[in-house]
Amino acid sequence: MKPRSRRDTWRLLVLIAPSLFWLLIFFLVPLVMVLVISFGQRGTYGGIVWDFTLSNYARFFDPLYLRIFGRTAGIALATTVICLVGGYPMAYFIATRPPRWRNTLLLLLMIPFWTNFLIRTYAWLLILRDQGLVNMVWTGAVHNLFLHLATAYPAATLFSSLAGLTSVPLELFGTNGAIIVGLVYAWLPDMVLPCYAAIERLDFSLVEAAQDLYANRVKSFLRVVLPLTMPGLVAGSVLVFIPALGAYVTPDLLGGAKSIMIGNVIYSQFMSARDYPFGSAISFVLMAIMLIATLIYFRLGSD
């Protein structure tokens, strides 16, 4: 309703004033600062020279950064696709359980989601690093098995070569793959929840109607279920893609020197290179991509 009286207007002002103040000063002003600084230049000793130049944006076309942006986009895309392929059937599974099971399964899905991100990423470090759990099994039990087989059947050279292969740890840690595993782990629930919401809302008598009208399982899925749950799928993809694009902790902990992402570049511009203008420019572009993705999502969602 519109504020009807002067008292109503006052009440409205009192209710929004604190948040408005906070968001203006500590969100909008910093946001504008980032934009302004992104057109400035780095001073000799790391300060900011106020200026108007596009040189920070031009630096994106440096092959070094282009490669990093390309890799970041690739990793974020791979993460999104894997979450999609894994998360949609998972959402379908949860949505087709009896109601009492559904709530428990949702709760089980959300518990890891609400626990500390850093710690969840660290857990994968324990699993994937050179002395981690996977390699503990690989160079331990698996290696011993092949050693044993090689001594038992000296004629089969396959076993001795396999024993040789398993004597060195697998290179998992520090790869793009490790980052993708970490990101999928972190953001899978973000894909499952909107997909679940869409599938749960789906009127299953529509599927029966399609089958009644001679559509087999595959066709009724493609023509009815998929289009009707598309909003959830798009929402999930945006929710996974955006944070994956801006990831910092995951590549920092699980990635190596060869798998730097945009987040790491931003970090180093502020924390080590002290090049605030360039760091601001990258941040601003990252945010612009995020905004565009969100707008696409809302446009699709409103249809």
Partner 1 sequence: MKRERQLKGRRGRWLRHILTAHGLVSYIFLYFPIVVLVVFSFNASRYASAWRGFTLEWYVSLLQDAAIGAALKNSLIVAGGSTVISTVFGTMVALAMERYDFSGKLAFDSLLYLPIIIPDIVMAVMLLIFFVLAHAQLGLVTIIISHVAFNISFVAVVVRARLAYFDLSLEEAAQDLYANEWQTFARVTLPLIMPGILGGALLAFTLSIDDFVITFFTSGPGSSTLPLRIYSMVKLGVTPEINALSSFMLIVSMLLVLLSFVLRKGGEGEIEIV
Partner 2 sequence: MSEHAVELVRVDKHFGTVVAVDTVSLSIRNGEFYSLLGPSGCGKTTTLRLIAGFEMPTAGQVYIDGELQGETPPYRRPVNTVFQNYALFPHMSVFQNVAFGLEMRHVSKEVIQHSVFEVLEMVQLPGMERRRPGQLSGGQQQRVALARALVNHPKVLLLDEPLGALDLKLRKAMQLELKALQERVGITFIYVTHDQEEALTMSDRIAVMNKGQVLQIGTPEEIYERPASRFVADFIGETNFLEGKVAAVRNGEVAVEIGDALLVYAPLERDAVVGDTVVIAVRPEKISLSTTPEDPRALPGVVREVVYVGTDTRYLAELAGQVTVMVREQNLAEETARRLSAGTAVYVCWQPQSARLLRG
Q: Which of residues 64-83 bind partner 2 (CB under 8 A)?
A: none
Would you count residue 30 as binding partner 1 (CB under 8 A)?
yes
Residue 175 backbone phi and psi in degrees, to 5: -105, 165
In the complex, least distance from residue 209 CB atom to partner 2, rounded to whole angstroms: 4
* CA gap 57, 285 in Å, rounded: 9
Nearest to 97 by CA among 229, 196, 190, 185: 196
Q: Which stretch binds partner 1 (CB under 8 A): 26-34, 61-69, 149-157, 170-178?
A: 26-34
Q: Say if CB 96 and CB 204 are below 8 A apart.
A: no
By the rule CB under 8 A, 235 interacts with partner 2: no
Smallest gap from residue 153 Cβ to partner 1 (A) = 28
Instruction: Note whether 273 binds partner 2 by CB under 8 A.
Output: no
Half-sphere exposure of 106 toward its Cβ, with a 13 Å CA cutoff?
A: 16
CA 276 – CA 297 distance, rounded (Å): 31
Q: Does 97 bind partner 2 (CB under 8 A)?
A: no
Work out how close the CB of 220 gets to partner 2 at its nearest, in angstroms, rounded to a whole number: 8
Euclidean distance between CA atoms 290 and 208, whole angstroms: 39
| Least Å from the CB of residue 155 to partner 1 | 32
State yes or no: residue 210 binds partner 2 (CB under 8 A).
yes
216 is an interface residue for partner 2 by CB under 8 A: yes
Q: Which of 132, 174, 231, 255 binds partner 1 (CB under 8 A)?
A: 132
| 290 binds partner 1 per the rule CB under 8 A | yes
Question: Could you say which DSSP state residue 167 is in?
Answer: T
Structure tokens at 145: 């098995």
Q: Is 160 in the site for partner 2 (CB under 8 A)?
A: no
Of positions 70, 74, 131, 167, contacts partner 1 by CB under 8 A:
131
Q: Is 162 in the site for partner 1 (CB under 8 A)?
A: no
d(CA 296, CA 99): 33
- Residue found under tokens 């990635």: 255
Is 193 a binding residue for partner 1 by CB under 8 A? The answer is yes
Determine contact, residues 173/254, Cβ cutoff 8 Å: yes
Q: How far is the CB of 115 from partner 1 (least distance, A)?
A: 4
From the list partner 2, partner 1, none, partner contacted by residue 63 (C-beta under 5 to 8 A by kind): none
Residue 206 binds what, of partner 2, partner 1, none (CB under 5 to 8 Å, by partner type)? Answer: partner 2
Give which of partner 1, partner 2, none residue 81 binds (C-beta under 5 to 8 Å, depending on kind): none
Which of residues 213, 222, 291, 292 is near partner 2 by CB under 8 A? 213
Q: Which is nearer to partner 2, 13 or 209 (CB)?
A: 209
Our finding on whether 86 is near partner 1 (CB under 8 A) is yes
Residues in the chain: 303
Examine residue 204 and tell whether it contacts partner 1 (CB under 8 A).
Answer: yes
CA pair distance 24, 9, nearest whole angstrom: 20
Neighbours of 226 (CB within 10 A): 12
CA distance 2 to 110: 39
Handedness of CA 226, 228, 234, 235 (dihedral sign): negative
Find out whether 247 and 121 touch, Cβ atoms under 8 Å. no
Give the binding site for partner 2 (CB under 8 A).
203, 205-206, 208-216, 219-220, 223-224, 227-228
